[in-house]
């Protein structure tokens, strides 16, 4: 898509990933009076599959993602060495391609700028190929890389869409298959059956560093398919990524008050500290944005929302500390195995980042699957801001 005819707009959103794309859709639907531009070198949405539980998104906000859903199932499975379970909870997936198509339909011709921003300021940005775009507000949605100001573990993954001759036989998603070999940290395989012969297989592992050995993980996926007896005739889309699992950190360092450019998405710290999962926060922020868009204090409002969300994540950062600082790497699966014996409603609220006080007590009560002394020592060392 080409350059717009004017170099001035109301809102410029930098970054066309999940947070930026949803923000565009919300503004286009609820504030059509605003001139909104999206700056993304492309493609919008990238090569991603995002999935969510029905309970992750408030009913009042579901209008935003409903048109993007490409696959849905009424239940999902988890599998561990000593425990397996089916949870009857709706599960849905959207794709980068669906997000890109919706953004293209929502914005006028030329309002998606296929370029990279080399400089971002509160009221303007400079484009890599030359030119300046001024805006009443610039919103930075570019993600945040490796989070140098935070104490993190990492969740790394490679996912591939496999075509299986004669069908794969998987009827609904397997959110965690942790019966696989535990190598270097908690590892599981994630399965999404797109149709009878196409299944998305993602090999995921929690690691102390952010390194991702893509060729090695591809080999693991091939070995998993072979162990299932699948004859793979084609490999379609491939997705890779490394998500932060935050153990500790100070929000004021992640987003200093002196930084006046508005932020959303991972760059604002808006993701689940234990899972790295960002879709629920991306939807909540996008749904709130139209009501804030006309305010002069939009950056301050967005920062206040992000700071409040960060405070609510304190419990999940504690769980990250238990996982990465107290549990032996090859024994980390026991934390999740124990968690998945808890009530389904508690599990749903956990993934949505809305655990109640009672939920939190249930999660940490009883005999912990990590040594108590190591757990207490890990918690004493952390910065809980």
pLDDT in tens, 73-87: 999 999 999 999 999
CA dihedral 289, 294, 298, 301 (to 10 degrees): -60
Residue 379 confidence (pLDDT) above 70: no
pLDDT in tens, 83-105: 999 999 999 999 999 999 999 99
**What's the mean pLDDT in 187-207?**
96
| pLDDT score recorded for residue 65 | 97
| pLDDT score recorded for residue 334 | 87
Partners of 242 in the beta sheet?
Answer: 156
| pLDDT score recorded for residue 185 | 82
Q: Tell me phi and psi for residue 334, to 5 degrees.
A: -65, -30
pLDDT in tens, 203-231: 999 888 888 999 999 999 999 999 999 99
pLDDT in tens, 263-281: 999 999 999 999 999 999 9
**Banded model confidence at residue 368, pLDDT cuts 50, 70, 90:** low
Q: Which fold has domain 151-247?
A: Alpha-Beta Plaits (3.30.70)
User: For residues 61 and 248, which has the higher predicted lDDT (pLDDT)?
Assistant: 61
- The DSSP output letter for 67 is G
- Angle, CA of 226, 227 and 230, to the nearest 5°: 45
Q: Is the peptide bond before 309 cis (omega within 30 degrees of 0)?
A: no
Angle between helices 372-380 and 314-321 (to 10 degrees): 130
Domain ranges of the chain: 8-71+92-147+249-312, 151-247, 314-380
pLDDT in tens, 242-256: 998 998 889 999 999
Q: Locate tokens 């970054």: which residue?
A: 15
| pLDDT score recorded for residue 5 | 45
Residue 36 confidence (pLDDT) above 70: yes
| pLDDT score recorded for residue 328 | 78
Pick the closest to residue 162 from 69, 72, 238, 241 (CA basis). Answer: 238
pTM of the entire structure? 0.92
8-71+92-147+249-312 against 151-247: fold identical:
no
| pLDDT score recorded for residue 11 | 97
Find out if CATH 3.50.50.60 is the number for domain 8-71+92-147+249-312: yes
Q: Kind and range of the H or E element at 378? A: helix 372-380
Helix, strand or coil for residue 252? helix
Q: What is the mean pLDDT of the chain?
A: 91
**Banded model confidence at residue 378, pLDDT cuts 50, 70, 90:** very low
Residue 182 confidence (pLDDT) above 60: yes
Q: Locate tokens 């004017």: which residue?
A: 6
Pick the closest to residue 265 from 141, 166, 368, 358 (CA basis). Answer: 141
Q: 332 to each of 148, 193, 205, 227, 322, how far by Cα in Å?
A: 24, 27, 11, 23, 9
Lowest mean pLDDT among 73-77, 88-92, 160-164, 293-297: 293-297
Q: How much of the chain, in percent, has pLDDT values that exceed 70?
A: 93
Distance CA 65, CA 53 (A): 12
Q: Which residues contact 215 (CB under 8 A, 6 or more apart)?
A: none
Pick the closest to residue 349 from 272, 263, 266, 254 (CA basis). Answer: 272
CA dihedral 212, 216, 221, 226 (to 10 degrees): -170
Cα dihedral 135, 252, 314, 373 sign? positive
- The DSSP output letter for 325 is I
Pick the closest to residue 385 from 143, 155, 151, 140 (CA basis). Answer: 151
Identify whether the C-beta of residue 292 lies closer than 8 Å to the C-beta of residue 30: no
Q: 49 to each of 159, 237, 238, how far by Cα in Å?
A: 9, 10, 10
pLDDT in tens, 110-135: 999 999 999 999 999 999 999 999 99
| pLDDT score recorded for residue 170 | 97
């Amino acid at each position: 898509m080409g350059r717009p005819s004017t170099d001035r707009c109301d809102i410029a959103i930098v970054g066309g990933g999940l947070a930026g794309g949803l923000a565009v859709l919300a503004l286009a639907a609820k504030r059509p009076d605003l001139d909104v531009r999206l700056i993304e070198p492309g493609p919008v949405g990238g090569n991603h599959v995002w999935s969510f539980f029905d309970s992750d998104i408030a009913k009042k906000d579901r209008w935003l993602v409903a048109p993007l859903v490409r696959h849905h199932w009424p239940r999902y499975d988890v599998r561990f060495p000593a425990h397996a379970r089916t949870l009857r909870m709706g599960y849905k997936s959207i794709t980068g391609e669906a997000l890109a198509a919706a953004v293209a339909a929502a914005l006028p011709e030329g309002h998606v700028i296929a370029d990279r921003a080399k400089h971002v300021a509160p009221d303007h940005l400079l484009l890599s190929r030359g030119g300046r775009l001024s805006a009443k507000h610039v919103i930075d949605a570019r993600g945040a890389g490796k989070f140098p100001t935070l104490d993190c573990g990492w969740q790394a993954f490679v996912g591939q869409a496999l075509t299986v001759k004669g069908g794969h036989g998987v009827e609904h998603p397997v959110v965690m298959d942790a019966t696989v070999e535990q190598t270097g940290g908690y590892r599981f395989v994630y399965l999404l059956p797109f149709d009878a012969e196409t299944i998305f297989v993602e090999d995921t592992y929690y690691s102390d560093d952010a390194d991702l050995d893509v060729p090695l993980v591809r080999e693991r996926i091939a070995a998993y398919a072979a162990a299932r007896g699948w004859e793979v005739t084609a490999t379609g889309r491939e997705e890779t990524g490394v998500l932060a699992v935050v153990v500790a950190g100070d929000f004021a360092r992640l987003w200093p008050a002196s930084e006046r450019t508005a932020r959303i998405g991972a760059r604002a710290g808006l993701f689940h500290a234990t899972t790295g999962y960002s879709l629920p926060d991306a939807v909540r922020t996008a749904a709130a944005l139209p009501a804030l868009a006309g305010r002069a204090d939009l950056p301050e409002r967005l920062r206040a929302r992000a700071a409040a969300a960060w405070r609510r994540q304190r419990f999940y950062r504690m769980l990250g500390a238990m996982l990465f600082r107290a549990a032996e790497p090859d024994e980390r699966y026991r934390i999740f195995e124990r968690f998945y014996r808890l009530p389904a409603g508690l599990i749903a609220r956990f993934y949505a980042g809305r655990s109640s006080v009672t939920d939190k007590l249930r999660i940490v009560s009883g005999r912990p699957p990590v040594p108590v002394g190591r757990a207490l020592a890990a918690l004493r060392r952390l910065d809980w801001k």
